Amino acid sequence: MNENQRGNIALITGASAGIGLELTRKLLSEDWQVVALNRSDFPADDASIQIAIKSRRLRMYKVTDLADYASLRRAVEEIKNKEQRIDVLFNNAGGSFHELSYSKQGREKHYEVMTVAPYIILMELKELINGGRLKTVINTSSSALKFTKEFSIEILERPKTFRKLIGPYATSKLALSLWTQAIAPQLAKDGIKIRSVDPGSNNTLRKGKKSGLPLLVKPLMKLFFSPPTQGANRLYEGAFGEHRHETGVFLLKGQVADLHFKDQAQNVLDRINAIYKHEFLGEARLND
């Protein structure tokens, strides 16, 4: 029997640290296979992870930057060539940046990494998901989205101001949840369910890495925020818990929550679909 026929298969982006790593560990402990799309390697001193890599139950594909379309294209092509199906896609990769920065495409970096890239990954891997057993997509969102006071495509792509956590990060997470809602009826035609999930407040600080957190939040995170296992459990429940039959919803603390700026959901979906078609796919055609 081919290894890809055994058990369920999850693809997790950003699986090598924080919430993604804990989710990887949890699924492996339940006899899942995990396909990881990462920038960095898994911890070399984690025996169970290294055993899973050697046995091919954990398979890693590298991307230098989700905002780098050439690198992302190579990674998803390799996944499409080597993997046979994906039962659940966890679009989990992300993070908060410490200053305003832009992608090679000229768009704000949070937006490119956490709103546009997950859509590209979904579209590129949709055929593998459609061939899966569970046909489920979980997008990691954030309760920070509730701090968004202004919202438009222009603000998403080129914000006039920058505030840590409650600025472009929050706006990009809101945009992610909005397109998740807007695309749900389209995916439902193929039997695919999609949800966005807030993983809660987790201590994901990493030594030697500049943080996009406000100064006052850092000590609070160390003292009061939950370990990343909580976030992993929230994503897991979002995929397999009581709301597993629903689609298009945003889950906050395990319950369906309302989103602000719902009138902008289709606009966000239309814009990122245009980026995908004209830039991601268009650039690929030019390079052929």
The 10s digit of each residue's pLDDT in 249-268 is: 999 999 999 999 999 999 99
**pLDDT above 90 (res 220):** no
Q: What is the pLDDT of residue 96?
A: 84
Whole-model pTM: value is: 0.91
Q: What is the pLDDT of residue 209?
A: 55
Q: What is the pLDDT of residue 2?
A: 46
Percent pLDDT > 90 in the chain is: 82
**pLDDT above 70 (res 215):** no
Question: Would you kindly state where each structural domain of the chain is located, as residue ranges?
Answer: 3-287
**pLDDT above 80 (res 287):** no
Task: Kindly list the distances between the CA atom of residue 80 and the CA atoms of 66, 120, 130, 216, in Å, as whole numbers in the listed order.
Answer: 17, 13, 13, 43
The 10s digit of each residue's pLDDT in 63-96 is: 999 999 999 999 999 999 999 999 999 999 988 8
User: Which residues of the chain form beta strands (DSSP E)?
Assistant: 9-13, 33-38, 58-62, 88-91, 136-140, 193-197, 250-252, 255-257
> Which CATH fold would you assign to the domain 3-287?
Rossmann fold (3.40.50)
